[in-house]
Amino acid sequence: MNTGRQGRRFVALCGGVGGAKLAFGLARVLGPDQLLVVVNTGDDFEHLGLPICPDLDTVLYTLAGQNNPALGWGRADESWTAYKEMQRLGGADWFQLGDKDIGLHLARRHLFDSGKTLSAVMKVLAERLGVTTPIVPMSDEPVRTMVHTDQGKLAFQEYFVGHKCAPAVRAIEFAGAANATPSPDFAAALGDPDLAGFIICPSNPFLSIDPILAIPGVRHALSRTNAPVVAVTPLIGGQAVKGPAAKILQELELPVTPMSVAARYDGFLDGFILDRRDAELSGAFPASVRVGVEQTLMVSDDDKTALADAAIAFVRRIRKGASPS
Amino acid sequence: MNTGRQGRRFVALCGGVGGAKLAFGLARVLGPDQLLVVVNTGDDFEHLGLPICPDLDTVLYTLAGQNNPALGWGRADESWTAYKEMQRLGGADWFQLGDKDIGLHLARRHLFDSGKTLSAVMKVLAERLGVTTPIVPMSDEPVRTMVHTDQGKLAFQEYFVGHKCAPAVRAIEFAGAANATPSPDFAAALGDPDLAGFIICPSNPFLSIDPILAIPGVRHALSRTNAPVVAVTPLIGGQAVKGPAAKILQELELPVTPMSVAARYDGFLDGFILDRRDAELSGAFPASVRVGVEQTLMVSDDDKTALADAAIAFVRRIRKGASPS
């Protein structure tokens, strides 16, 4: 049953940089009514009173063409006047904040103070930045990733930025997840009987995708949807393109392979896109998971668009319930 | 009794711009151990998560030579990147914030978060800005000026910045003052038997000085001190040099005269410095108040130093308990 354009939407689940690159490609290929980008909020935190949503902002800046590719985070054409003055005057200096970035956080604070939900706030920010693809948080309620490490329990940003991912991870907790609900647009998509498919972007499975899956009802909805669920590998040649995914797999005593990533999505995964360099691993996946092989490293905008095209085509080739071969 | 240099300190009570100018002059004339600047905090507020202390910051920036004389508030050599971006993205735009100013507020937030009192925070900021004169808040506890107007009860910054002082003032309330205590350095000065004198700077009596006087014990201590208490007029020729002092006097149906200002300090005032242009009012003060006449308009730094010298000399001429003539 096809209820029209609106009904054939793709839902992308993603975290920060890597996920944002594929989301950028998808947004180039799909119209704003054909794509919903659902973003991890487990990294969100309040820093010096500023409400900071690292993954949402990375996706937003990337889709707005205003991300900073040199840094890998933050805004293009950024200045650092406020941050430098803060440092000079005795402020905290472990988390860098550009002037424009601060402007966005202050705007978000104002929009929160006026009673808006995070979903509503992101709609305003996206509109002002000229982004038409809907970007929504996984939840409007706070979920906070806590990393249990050999150096104790750390809030996500302490682990990720403060300690530069150095402590060994023992376990990861998503505080608040048990009482959170999917954001309205995410919930509607999860209940939509006519989606084109779910695409799990090449994001860290533990830190970016697991928080989304930790919200009650999400795993169940993914296991029940008649739309294909496909993941794109965040690992190439046994290494993460960016971030601590490989390191965490080792610390959790799991093989540093794409199959370990796929195993995180056991129970709802229909397809997995491997990188070309890992093509020989195609046979190592369970029979229930169809495997595609693509160029997954995204350097240029064309790479992003090509991978988006490939992921969409891969999803469309999958018929749920049909033989994966 | 003179217990040494430390014991012959002057205490300046002040608000924002006008007070800061005289404080600047006093700081040029007196050593850091001869002056304590006690500043109104009734205008303080939290804006978009930033802890903002307008009068303290004006005094700090002025003494650091980093105030913005063109604007009359904020920092010299300021940029507005964060604020412009905030505006563009849907943030509140009634209260302007420069990038460096934001840097200071973020540093203050960090210092607060680390458990410091406002007094301790200001010590760090002053040190980092190279200001050696001690600048302390009237209290480390929050006191918030609320302006009852013909348009309802307004928080101070709503009245002052948001409404540009347009609503007619009916009464002024200092929320929290009844439970506040003088900051440690202010309390020590109030209890010091060997001060050189108190100088009430040319600040708005209702909005800048009254909040200081509203803290329990302050009026009593001023009425009991053996140090002369002298005020410098904020009115020249029936007008306030800056701000709504004259307008508020009218709205409260009080004569717009220096005598009305002096009357606010009834019970502890020993001397009052009139501007030259108002010399003919010298005879209109109560016999208990000695009157000086000076050039009180401070345009150049030399004006500030000259008025400071004059105020110090005036205080030194006053012998408490002696005839004022």
What per-residue confidence (pLDDT) applies to A324?
44
Nearest to A297 by CA among A277, A314, A267, A324: A277
Do residue A86 and residue B106 have CB atoms under 8 angstroms apart? Answer: yes
Residue of A nearest to B121 (CA): A90
CB-CB contact of A254 with A260 (8 Å): yes
Q: Please say if the pLDDT value at position A255 is more than 50.
A: yes
Which of A48, A57, A127 has the highest number of chain B CBs within 10 A, making it the mutation to test binding with B? A48
Strand ranges inside chain A, DSSP E: 10-14, 35-39, 45-47, 50-52, 135-137, 144-149, 152-155, 169-175, 197-200, 229-232, 235-236, 239-240, 271-275, 290-294
Q: pLDDT tens-digit profile of A95-119? A: 999 999 999 999 999 999 999 999 9
The CA-based dihedral angle spanning residues B166, B172, B176, B180, taken in that order and rounded to the nearest 10 degrees:
120
Q: Cα distance from B95 to chain A (closest Cα, Å)?
A: 12
Sign of the dihedral through C-alpha B238, B242, B246, B247: positive
Mean pLDDT, residues A308-320 taken together: 92
* Phi, psi dihedrals of residue B225, rounded to the nearest 5°: -65, 145
What per-residue confidence (pLDDT) applies to A93?
81
Report all structural domains of chain A as residue ranges with CATH numbers, in order of start. Answer: 5-44+139-317 (3.40.50.10680)
Report the alpha-carbon distance of residue B180 to residue B191 in Å, rounded: 17
Under the banding of pLDDT at 50, 70 and 90, the label for residue A5 is very low
Mean pLDDT, residues A245-258 taken together: 94
Burial class (CB in 10 A: 0-12, 13-18, 19+), A141: middle
Strand-pair partners of B239: B236
Cβ contacts of A92 on chain B, cutoff 8 Å? 110, 113
Q: Please say if the pLDDT value at position A323 is more than 70.
A: no
Report the alpha-carbon distance of residue A207 to residue A55 in Å, rounded: 11
Q: Which DSSP symbol is given to B7?
A: G
Residue of B nearest to A108 (CA): B91
Report the alpha-carbon distance of residue B312 to residue B314 in Å, rounded: 5
Q: Count of CB contacts below 8 A, A vs B?
A: 130
Which of A47, A96, A102, A125 has the highest number of chain B CBs within 10 A, making it the mutation to test binding with B? A102
Which are the contacts of B206, defined by CB distance < 8 A and separation ≥ 6?
B169, B172, B245, B248, B252, B264
| Long-range interactions of A235-241: CB distance < 8 A, separation 24+ | A235/A261, A235/A275, A235/A278, A236/A275, A236/A277, A236/A278, A236/A296, A236/A297, A237/A275, A237/A277, A237/A278, A240/A204, A241/A18, A241/A202, A241/A297
Strand-pair partners of B139: B182
* Phi, psi dihedrals of residue B7, rounded to the nearest 5°: -80, -10
Question: Which among B86, B91, B128 is the nearest to A89, CB-wise?
Answer: B128
Question: Which among A99, A106, A128 is the nearest to B48, CB-wise?
Answer: A106
Q: Which two tokens stand for residue B154?
A: 């307004």
Report the alpha-carbon distance of residue B121 to residue A92 in Å, rounded: 13
What per-residue confidence (pLDDT) applies to A136?
98
What per-residue confidence (pLDDT) applies to B139?
98
Mean pLDDT, residues A59-85 taken together: 92
- Give the other-Cβ count within 10 Å of A279's Cβ: 12
Report the alpha-carbon distance of residue B147 to residue B258 in Å, rounded: 22
Do residue B100 and residue A82 have CB atoms under 8 angstroms apart? Answer: yes
Quote ipTM for the complex.
Answer: 0.89
What per-residue confidence (pLDDT) applies to B5?
40
Question: Which among A46, A99, A107 is the nearest to B99, CB-wise?
Answer: A99
Q: Cα distance from B260 to chain A (closest Cα, Å)?
A: 41
Amino acid at A227: A
Report the alpha-carbon distance of residue B273 to residue B309 in Å, rounded: 12
Where residue B79 falls (left for φ over 0; alpha for ψ -120 to 50; beta otherwise) is beta
Report the alpha-carbon distance of residue A171 to residue A252 in Å, rounded: 8
DSSP string, A25-46: HHHHHS-TTSEEEEE--TT-EE
Q: How far is CA B292 from the centre of its chain?
A: 21
Cβ contacts of B85 on chain A, cutoff 8 Å? 99-100, 102-104, 107
Do residue A104 and residue B86 have CB atoms under 8 angstroms apart? Answer: yes
Report chain A's mean pLDDT, rounded to a whole number.
93
Under the banding of pLDDT at 50, 70 and 90, the label for residue A4 is very low
Do residue B89 and residue A49 have CB atoms under 8 angstroms apart? Answer: no
Do residue B91 and residue A107 have CB atoms under 8 angstroms apart? Answer: yes
Cβ contacts of B130 on chain A, cutoff 8 Å? none
Which are the contacts of A233, defined by CB distance < 8 A and separation ≥ 6?
A202, A258, A261, A272, A273, A274, A275, A278, A296
Q: How far is CA B153 from the centre of its chain?
A: 23
Which of A85, A88, A111, A128 has the highest number of chain B CBs within 10 A, making it the mutation to test binding with B? A85
Residue of B nearest to A50 (CA): B49
CB-CB contact of B270 with B228 (8 Å): yes
The helix or strand, by DSSP H or E, that contains position B106, with its residue range, turns out to be: helix B99-113
Q: Please say if the pLDDT value at position A263 is more than 50.
A: yes
Amino acid at B47: H
Report the alpha-carbon distance of residue B294 to residue B308 in Å, rounded: 10
CB-CB contact of B14 with B72 (8 Å): no
DSSP string, B37-78: EEE--TT-EEETTEEE-HHHHHHHHHHTT-B-TTTTSSBTT-
Q: pLDDT tens-digit profile of A172-211? A: 999 999 999 999 999 999 999 999 999 999 999 999 999 9
Do residue B48 and residue A82 have CB atoms under 8 angstroms apart? Answer: no
Do residue A89 and residue B102 have CB atoms under 8 angstroms apart? Answer: no
Do residue A86 and residue B79 have CB atoms under 8 angstroms apart? Answer: no
The helix or strand, by DSSP H or E, that contains position A103, with its residue range, turns out to be: helix A99-113
Ranges of residues in chain B whose predicted pLDDT is under 50: 1-7, 323-325
Per residue, the 3-state secondary structure of B201-255, as one string, reads CCCCHHHHHHHHHCCCCHHHHHHHCCCCEEEECCEECCEECCCCHHHHHHHCCCC
Mean pLDDT, residues A237-258 taken together: 92
| Measured CA distances, B290 to A179, B83, B232, B262, B322 (Å) | 69, 48, 12, 11, 11
Cβ contacts of A108 on chain B, cutoff 8 Å? 89, 91
What per-residue confidence (pLDDT) applies to B8?
86
